[in-house]
Structure 1
Amino acid sequence: MKKTWSSLLESLQHAGKTLLAKLASRSTPSGSGGAGGTAGLANTGEGLQVNPLKSVGVKLFAIFFFCIVFFVLIVGLISYAKSKDVIQTKVADATEQTAIQAGQKLDLIYSTYEDLSMQIMLNEDLRKLVTELRTTEANTYNYMDLSRQITDKLNVYAFANKNIKSIHLLSEKGAGVGSSSNAAGGGSAAEQPWFKQIVEAGGQAVWLETSEKGYSQENVISSGASPSFALGRVLKSMTTNQITGVLLIEIKVEVIGDQMKQIDMGDGGSTIVISSSGNYVYNADQALLAKPNTLNLDKSALDKESGQLKTKDGQNQLVFYKSKINGWHLVGLMPVNELVKDAKVIFDITVAMAFGAMLIAIVIGYLLARMIGRPLIQLRNLMKEGEQGNLRVRMAVKGQDEIGQLSVSFNEMMEKITQLVQQTNVSAQEVLGTAGELSEASKKTAMSAKDIAVATEEIATGASSLAVESERGNELTHSIGMQMQSVVSANVIMGTAAGEVQTSSKQGITYMNELIGKTNETESMTRSMVEKVDNLKESTRSIVKILDVLGNISKQTNILSLNATIEAARAGAAGKGFMVVADEIRKLADQSRQSIAIVGQITEKIQNEIEETVQVLSKAYPIFQEQIASVKEADTIFKQVDAQMGGFIERLSEVTESISQLETSQLVLNESMTNVSAVAEESSATSQEVASLSTEQLSISNGLVRLSDKLEELSNSLKQSLSKFQV
C-alpha cells in the first residue's frame, strides 16, 4: 500500500510540474494586439518581466488541480476506512448470530445429557439393584451378579448414544460399582477433585471440563486414553435422602467438534469452547485440550451472555456465546485482516479514481487557466502599452461574461481617450500656428515702432509720410485683433472638449461603481448558496441516523425470529406453525435490511454530491474576490484620467488668461495708433509729444513680442505632451 501511495504522489507531482511549466511559458507576454493591431511592448523598448508562478492562470490551475485531487483522495481514503469498519462490523454481527445459534444447539445437546442422567437416576430397576448391592457382601457371587446387572443397565444407555464414551456408577466412597466400558475397579476416586465437586452439588448436574486422557482413574475405571468431558450427578435414596451412588457420564469431545465444524470462520479462523475456568474444552488442535486458553483476554470480557470483542493486540476479532446450561463459552476467532480483505477493492477503486480525477483536473484546470488567465494577461499588456502612449491598442471581445464586458469598457475608454487626444492635438496645432503669426506680427509692430521713432526725428520733413505710416499701423492692429479673436475661439473649443472628456471619465467611474456593487451582490448570493447547501448536508446526516435506527430494528427482528425458530424446534410438532411465522418474520426483516441499505447508499451518494457542490462554490468565491480587485483597479485608472484632465483644463485656463492680457495690449496698441494718426495731423506743432508717444509705442511693442514668444512656448510644450500618444 505504501508503494502504491508513493507512486501516486510522484505521478501527481510530475504532472503538476509539467502543467505549471507549460502554463508559465504561455503566460509570459511576447506581444499584444487587439482590434487596432499594435506592435506590442517590444516596440516601446521596454519588456514586461513577470514571474510565471504569480500569474493568475497558473494560480487558478494550481488551486483547481490540487483541490480536486486532494478531495478525491480524502473521500476515497475515508470511504476505504469506513467500508473496512462496516464490513468488519457486519461480518462480526453475522458470525455472532451463527455462534449464538451453534451455542444454543450445544445447549440442547447438554440438556439431552442432563435429561439422560436424570432418567438413569429415576430408573426404578437400577435404584433397586444399587440398594440391594449396598446390602450385599463384597466379593461374593451375588455381589458380582448385581454389579453385572447394573453394568447391563448402564450399557443400554451408553449404546443408545454413540457419543457417550462410557457411563460409570460409583459408590459414595468412590469405589466402582458398574461401568459401561467393562472397566475393572478396585481403587477409590473419593480423593479426586471432580468426585468431591459432584458430591458437594447435592444432586444437581455437574459438568466437568475436558480431561486430556478422560476421567478413568487407575485401578478404578479404565475406559481408554482419549480426551473427554463428563457429566456427574449424585444418586440419593428416595426415603432417607442419603447418597447411594455417584453417576459419571463421559462424553466424547467429538460431539462438540461435529457442531463446530458447521461454523465457518473464514481463512485463518477457528472455533473453540472454553470452560468457566478458562481451559480449553474443545479445540481443533487436541494438544491444547484441558490447557489454559491463549486468547490474551481479560476474564471479565466474557461475562456477558454473548457479544464480540477484539484481542489485546487487535489482530483477531472474537464472537462468543455463554452456555445457559454449564456456563462454558463458545468462542469464534477471526483474523481482522481476513474480515476486511474485501475492502481492498474499494482502495483499488480509490487509486483509480484519484488518477482519473488527476487527469480531469489537468484538463479542466488547463482550460480554466486559458479562459481566465490569458484574457487578463492580454488586457494587462494592452494597458501597459496604453501607459507608454500607444492609444491604438484594442482588446478582442470573445465573450459576454465579465471579462468580455471589461474588454468592451476598455475599448470604449481607449476610443474616447483617442478622440480627446486627437481633438487636443488639432487645437494645439492651431494655437501654435496662431502663436507664430502673433509673434511675427509683434515683431513687425516693433519694427514699425522703430520706424515711427525714426519718423518722429524726421517729422519735420513731412506729415504726409507719417500719416501713411499711421494708417499702416491701424491696419496691423486690426489684423492683430482679428487673430486674437481666432485664438480665443480655439481656446474655448479646447476647454469644451476637455470638459466633455472629464464628464466621460466621471461617467466611467459611475459605471465601475455599479459594476463593483453587482459583483458584491453576486458574492453574497454565492455565500448564501453555500450556507443552504450546508443545511441540506445536515438534513442528509439526519436521514443517515434514522436509517441506522431502522437497521438496528431489522437486526433485532431477525434475532427475535431466530429465537422463535429455536423455541419452535424445541416445541416439536406443536411449534411447526409458529416456526413458519418466525421464518416469514425473518424474511421480512431481511427485506427491510436490504431496503435500508439501498436507501443508505442513495443518501450517501446525495451527501457526496452536496460535498462536491460546496467545494465548487468555495472555489468560485476567490474568483469573485479577484474580479472585484480587477474592477477596482480599472476604477483607479478612470480616476487618474479624470485628475489629469482636470490639470489640463487648468492649463487651458492659464492660456486663456494670457490671451486676454494680449487682447488688452492689442486694444492699447490700437488706441495708440489712433493717437498717432491724430498727432500726424498736428505733427508740425506737437513733434515733442509725438516723440514721447513713439517711445511708449516701442515699449508696448516689445511687451507684445514677449507675450507672443510665451504663447509659442506654451504651444510647443502642449505639442510635446501630446506627441507621446499614438492615435
Structure 2
Amino acid sequence: MNIFKHKNKCEQKYTSYKNISNKKGKEKSSIKVFRKKNHHKDSLAEATNKNNDSNNDKNIRKISITMMFCFLIPIILIITLGIFSYKLASKAMYSKYEESSMSTVSSMQVSMNMMCSSISSKVIEVMLTDEFNSYYNSNDISSIKASEAASLSGKVNSNLSGVKASVDYISAYYLFAKEGSVLKTNIKSLPIGFYDSYLESEEANKFKDSKVTNAWVGKHILLDTNLGIDEDEYSLSYVQHFTSLKNSGFIIMDVQAAYIKELLSIMEFGGGTIKGLVVDDGVEILYKEEKDNKDNIISNEYKVDSPLLYNQDFFNESIESEGLKYVSIDDEKYLYVYTPVGKTGIMLFALIPETHIIAQIQGIGIVTIIMVIVACVISIGIGLAMAYGISSTLNHFCKHLVQVEQGDLTQVFSTNRKDEFKLLTNGMNNMLSGMRNLLTSVDKFSKKATGSAQDVSMATEDMKDSMCSISKMIDDIAQGVVAQAEDTTQCYESMTRLSCELEEINESTNIMSQKADETVSVIDKGKLIVKELNERTSVSVNNTKKLVLEISTIQGLVEEIGDILKIIQGIAEKTNLLSFNASIEAVRAGSSGRGFLVVAEEVNKLAKQSKEAGGKIKKIVTNITNATCQTVSSAKEMSKYIEEQSEALEDTNNVFGEINEYVIELVAALRKVQENMDNIVKDNKNMVDTIHSISAVSQEITASVEEVDATTLKQVASISSLTEDAENLLKEVKVLEESMGRFKV
C-alpha cells in the first residue's frame, strides 16, 4: 500500500508541473492573439450608425397616435370604475333586497304566530270551562241526565260559537268525542263511531303518541268527506286532542282561506313571486304574485300537480331555522326566504325570482353605462383636439429642421402658441445661433488639426518600425528560453519517474526484509512445535509399551482363568457321577430313600448348570484371548509407527534449523541492499530538487520574456492604433471640411 501511495504522489507532482507548462504556453498564444484585436472598430461603428438612422426613419410614429394611446388609459380606468361601481351597487342591492325580504317574512311570521297562538288559547279556554269538564271529562257520561247533558253540551256549543264570533278568521269548528254529543257548525251529521274511524285514520297517527296533544294541519279529508265540506273554504285547521280517564275527543278549528290569502297578500315582492305556507302534514298553500291590467300586484292561488317544496332537499334543511338561500326549481333560480311559524310545524316562505332582483339592478347598470360612454367621448374629444394642436406645431418645426439638416442654418423658428412650445421655439433659435458660431470655430480648428495629424502620423510610423524590430529580437530570445525550459522539463520528468521507480524498489526491499524477519520468527515457532511434537511422540511410545505389557499381563490372567475353568468342569463331572450313584442308592432304599432321591436330583441339576456355565465362560475366555492377541499386535504396530514418526520429526527439526540459517543470511544481505537503496533514493531526491529548481528558474525567465514580449506587442498595437487614429483623424478632418462646406452660416 505504501508503494502505491508514493507512486500516486509522484504522478500528481508530474501532472501539476505539466499543467503549469501548458498554462504558460496558452498565455503565450493569447499574447499573440492580442495583436489582432480592435481592427475594425471604426468600420463597425459607422455601419451601426447607418443602421440606426434607417431604423429611426422606419419606426417614426405620429404624436397624435401616441396621445390617443395615452388617453386610452384613463378611458380604460373609467370603464373599470364603471364596472366596479356596478358590481358594488349590485352586491349592495342584493344584500338590501335580501334583508328587506327577510324582514318582511319575519314580520309576517309574527302575525301568523299570533293568529295560531290566539286560536290555541281560545280552544284551551273552552276546555277549561266547567261545562266542558262536567260533560266531556265526566267519569260516566251515561249517568248524566238527558236534560242536564243537553244543557251542558249546549253551553259548550255556545262557548265555541262565542269563540268563532270573536275571532273573525275562524270559519268553522268541530268537536267529537268517544262519548258525548258532536258539536259543529255544519248542519250535516257525522256517522256513529266517527271518533274511532278518525282515530284509526292517517290524520290522527301523530296523536297516538301521548305527548302530542295538538297540531296544525292543512286538510282533514275524512271530516270533509263525511260532512261535504269544500276544501277551498279553509286553509288551516287547528286540532286539539283532549283525554280523560274514561273519555277522549278532538276539537278542530278551521281558518278561513280568504284570511290567509289576505294575510299573505300583505307581503309584496314583485311579479312572479311564489309565497305561502307549508304545513307539517305536507299540504302547501301557495299564492303567486301577478300584475293586473293596471300594473298592480295581486296574489292569486297557485296550484301545482306535485309538491313544490315539501320533501325537497333545501326545504328539509330549512325546517327548524329561518334564513334565505338561492335555489333552482324547474330550471329557474329563486331567492328562497323562509321562517318557521313558532312551534306550529308551519313554514312561511317566499320564492322570489332572481330575474325580478336583476331587473331592479339593470337601471343602475344603464345609468353607469351612459355615464361611462359620455366620459369616454369627452376624453376622446379632448385628446383629439390636443393631438391636432401639438401635431400641427411639430410639423411646422419639422419643415424647418429638414432645411437645417440639409445645411441651411439661417432658418428661424416661430409659433403662435403661448405654452412650452414657445420656449421650445426660442431654444431652437438660440441653438441654431450657437451652431453657427460653433461651425465657424470648427472650421478654423480643422485646418490646424490637419497639419498636426500629418506630423503625428509620420512619427508613429517610425516608432512602429522600431518596436517591430525589438519585438522580433524578443521573440528569438523567448524561443531559446522556451526550448531550454522544455528540455529541463523533460529531464525533470525522467528524474521524477526514476525517483518513483527507486522508491518503489526501496519499498519492495523493505517489504522483503520484513517478510524475511517474519519467516525467521515462523521458523522458530515451527522448531518449537516440532520439538514439542517429538516430546509428545516419545511419551506416546512409552505409553504404548506400557499398554503392551499390561495386555500381556491380562493374557496371562486369562490363561489362569482357563485353568480354573478346567477344574470347575472336573468338579461338575464328578458331581454328576455322584448324583447318579445317589439316585441308584435311593432306588434301592425304597420309600425311605425318597428324600435322598430329591437331593440327588437337585445335585444333578446343579452339576448340569455348572457345566453349562463353564461352557459359556470358556467361550468368553476364548473371545477375550483372541481380542487380547489382536490388541497386542495392533499396539506393537502402533509403537513401531510412532518410533518412525519420532525419527521423521527429528529430521524435520534439523531441516528447520538449516532454513533458519539461510534466512538469517538473506536478511543480512537484504539489509545491506536496503541501506544502499536509501542512499540512492536520497541522492536521487537531491538531483530531482536541483533539476526542479533549474526548471522553475527557466519558467520564470520564460514568463519574464513573455511578459516583455507582451508589453512590446501592446506598445506596437498602441502605436499601430495611434497611427490608424492619426490617419482616421486626417480623414475625419477632410470629411469635416466637406461637411462644413454644406452649411450656410
Please state which band the TM-score falls in when normalised by the shorter chain.
0.3 to 0.5
TM-score after normalising by structure 2: 0.47
Structure number with greater Rg is 2
